[in-house]
């Protein structure tokens, strides 16, 4: 039974947005918020005051899906006592959306390429229209380039800027190419303008986002450019342009696909002081057999060669990883290949998961999830333990060095300390003294844990 509601009776269309998921989702929450605010909605920071609740989530990993299910169970209570509309945005396959709809808590879904119309979709829901899935099939080129993002007034000095959307890689375990569509890049002029605007608004660091930033590509129509302008802008050109135009803005980026990363990009990173020396380079597995089953388009040997190139061109560069343990057909030998690759590289840090098949993916349809749960768990633990050792080893390399740190906020453990990040994206904590959030300071590293560098300001 659906509740028909006269939209004119609503004093306020007051939304509350919760974010679950990756950096791309956090960046998308800003897009959704900006579109709703520009269309007469108001934003509430308090769930109790809102009549529209948006959960910007994802189903890329089973754990994320379970967290969302739990949250929806909690929201059932709100729905019983008050007329509210609940919408889910983000990366979900049709199968998963159906499971959520059956629970009768969710009113609508909006997919990542359809946010431009989200205000209309919410209005349809409010007047009782039974459209549940707002998927944009027509908007394959959507980049939201012209949306003037309204950033929330918090004290943050670092923010995300999306430069590509979607992905063409079709890794067999991944739902992104189906939920976010084909890869497309944002006009470099709009990225440069947005970067300048963010700097003027007090941001000191931007993180360029894309599923695969290294394949960024913009081709100008020859008629629209002058003689001195290049008609093709790739990722190395974009980084170079941004670093030159905004020398005071720190630049980071994520995520790199080893298949697409070029020496040209590494050289640009090495050339500019304001491009941070950290590369997130997901490997997923150290076994060629598993990489092939995952449809990753590089081999273990190519990956190791790339890491060597990174260290040659940018010796101080930190490298982090994503690893999936227990993918289909993974045996002990494959697992040991991953362990040995980790030992060879000694990553600074990483994100480690055990494999869970995701509905809608090739692996879900065609491959057998045949590694028993307890084996997956054991292998994952070995990977985590090894990474902990390597992180500690890498942190020791900073002892005694003076490093440039951007202050991001007060340390959670001690309000007499600031925390910030060095160029390698490592957390540094140090006594406050007379400094402010957003200051770029020099800190001498005196101690470390496996996750934090501890130091003192150099005056
Ligand atoms: S590169 Fe692979 S894992 Fe990354 S978003 Fe694309 S398909 Fe998914």
User: Mutate which of 22, 168, 176 to test ligand 1's pocket (most atoms within 8 Å of Cβ)?
Assistant: 176
- Among 169, 214, 284, residue to substitute to test ligand 1 (most atoms within 8 Å of Cβ): 169
| Nearest CA, atom 8, ligand 1 | 174
pLDDT at position 134: 66
Residues with CB under 6 A from ligand 1: 167, 169-171, 174, 176-177, 211-212, 257
Ligand 1, closest atom to CA 174? 8
Distance (Å) from CA 443 to ligand 1 centroid = 37
CATH class of the domain comprising 402-457: mainly beta
* Contact status, residue 37 vs residue 76, Cβ threshold 8 Å: no
CA of 59 to the centre of ligand 1 (A): 14
> What pLDDT is recorded for position 7?
47
- Does residue 255 have a cis peptide bond before it, meaning omega lies within 30 degrees of 0? yes
Atom of ligand 1 nearest to the CA of 212: 1
Averages of pLDDT over each 10 residues, the chain, 459 residues: 43 85 86 92 90 88 85 85 88 77 83 89 82 61 80 76 93 91 92 93 94 93 66 95 96 95 97 98 98 97 98 98 98 98 98 94 96 98 98 97 96 93 98 91 95 92
What are the two backbone dihedrals, phi and then psi, of residue 40, each rounded to the nearest 5 degrees? 90, 0
**Residue 180 alpha carbon to ligand 1 centre in Å:** 11
Distance 282 CA to ligand 1 centre (A): 10
Residue among 112, 164, 167, 361 to mutate when testing ligand 1 (max atoms within 8 A of CB) = 167
> How far apart are the CA of 174 and the centre of ligand 1, in A?
6
Topology annotation, domain 285-397: Transcription Regulator spoIIAA (3.30.750)
Shortest-distance atom of ligand 1 to CA 180: 5
Q: What is the pLDDT of residue 105?
A: 85
DSSP 8-state code for residue 115: G
In this structure, is the dihedral angle defined by the CA atoms of residues 197, 200, 203 and 208, taken in order, positive or negative? positive
Q: 360: CA distance to ligand 1 center in Å? A: 14
CA distances for 53 relative to 39, 49, 97, 130, 396, angstroms = 16, 10, 17, 18, 45
C-alpha closest to that of 395 among 319, 448, 456, 321: 448
- So where are the chain's domains? 7-134, 155-276, 285-397, 402-457
> What is the separation, in whole angstroms, between the first and last Cα of the chain?
68
Tell me, in angstroms, the distance from the centre of ligand 1 to residue 169's CA. Answer: 6
pLDDT value for 456 = 96
Name which CATH class applies to 7-134: alpha beta
Cα separation, 287 vs 341, whole angstroms: 9
- Domain 155-276 and domain 285-397 have a common topology: yes
Task: Tell me if residue 261 falls in helix, strand or coil.
Answer: coil
On the question of a cis peptide bond just before residue 292, with omega within 30 degrees of 0, the verdict is no
Q: Which of 177, 281, 322 to mutate to test the pocket of ligand 1 (most atoms within 8 A of CB)?
A: 177
pLDDT value of position 77: 81
Determine the Cα–Cα distance for residues 114 and 89; give it in Å rounded to an integer: 9
Domain 155-276 has CATH 3.30.930.10: no
Give the residue ranges of DSSP H helices in 9-61.
Answer: 23-38
């Amino acid at each position: 039974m659906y509740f028909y509601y006269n939209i004119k009776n609503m004093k306020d269309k007051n939304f509350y947005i919760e974010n679950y998921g990756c950096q791309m989702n956090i960046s998308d929450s800003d897009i959704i918020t900006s579109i709703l605010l520009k269309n007469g909605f108001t934003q509430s920071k308090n769930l109790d005051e809102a009549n529209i609740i948006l959960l910007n989530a994802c189903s890329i990993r089973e754990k994320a899906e379970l967290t969302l299910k739990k949250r929806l169970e909690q929201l059932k209570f709100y729905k019983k006592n008050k007329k509210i509309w609940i919408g889910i945005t983000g990366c979900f396959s049709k199968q998963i959306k159906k499971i959520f709809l059956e629970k009768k808590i969710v009113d609508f879904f909006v997919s990542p390429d359809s946010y431009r119309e989200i205000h209309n979709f919410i209005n349809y829901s409010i007047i009782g229209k039974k459209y549940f899935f707002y998927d944009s099939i027509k908007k394959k080129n959507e980049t939201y380039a012209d949306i003037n993002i309204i950033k929330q007034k918090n004290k943050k000095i670092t923010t995300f800027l999306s430069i590509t959307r979607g992905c063409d890689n079709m890794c067999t375990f991944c739902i992104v190419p189906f939920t976010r569509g084909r890869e497309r890049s944002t006009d470099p002029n709009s990225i440069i303008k947005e970067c300048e605007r963010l700097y003027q608004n007090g941001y000191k660091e931007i993180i360029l986002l894309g599923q695969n930033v290294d394949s960024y590509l913009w081709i100008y129509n020859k008629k629209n450019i002058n003689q001195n302008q290049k008609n093709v802008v790739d990722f190395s050109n974009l980084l170079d342009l941004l670093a030159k135009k905004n020398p005071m803005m720190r630049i980071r980026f994520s995520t790199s696909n080893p298949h697409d990363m070029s020496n040209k990009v590494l050289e640009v990173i090495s050339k500019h002081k304001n491009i941070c020396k950290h590369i997130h380079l997901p490997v997923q597995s150290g076994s060629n057999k598993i990489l092939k089953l995952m449809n990753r388009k590089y081999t273990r040997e190519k990956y190791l060669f790339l890491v060597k190139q990174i260290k040659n061109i940018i010796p101080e560069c930190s490298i982090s990883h994503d690893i999936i343990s227990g993918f289909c057909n993974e045996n002990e030998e494959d697992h040991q290949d991953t362990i040995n690759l980790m030992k060879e590289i000694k990553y600074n840090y990483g994100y480690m998961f055990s494999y869970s098949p995701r509905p809608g993916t090739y692996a879900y349809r065609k491959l057998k999830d045949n590694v028993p749960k307890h084996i997956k768990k054991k292998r994952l633990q070995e990977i985590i333990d090894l990474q902990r050792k390597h992180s500690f080893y890498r942190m020791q390399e900073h002892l005694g060095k003076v490093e440039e740190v951007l202050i991001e906020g007060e340390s959670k453990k001690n309000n007499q300390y600031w925390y910030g990040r060095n160029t390698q994206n490592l957390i540094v904590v140090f006594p406050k003294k007379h400094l402010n959030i957003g200051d770029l300071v020099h800190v001498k590293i005196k101690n470390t844990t496996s996750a934090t560098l501890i130091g003192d300001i150099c005056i």
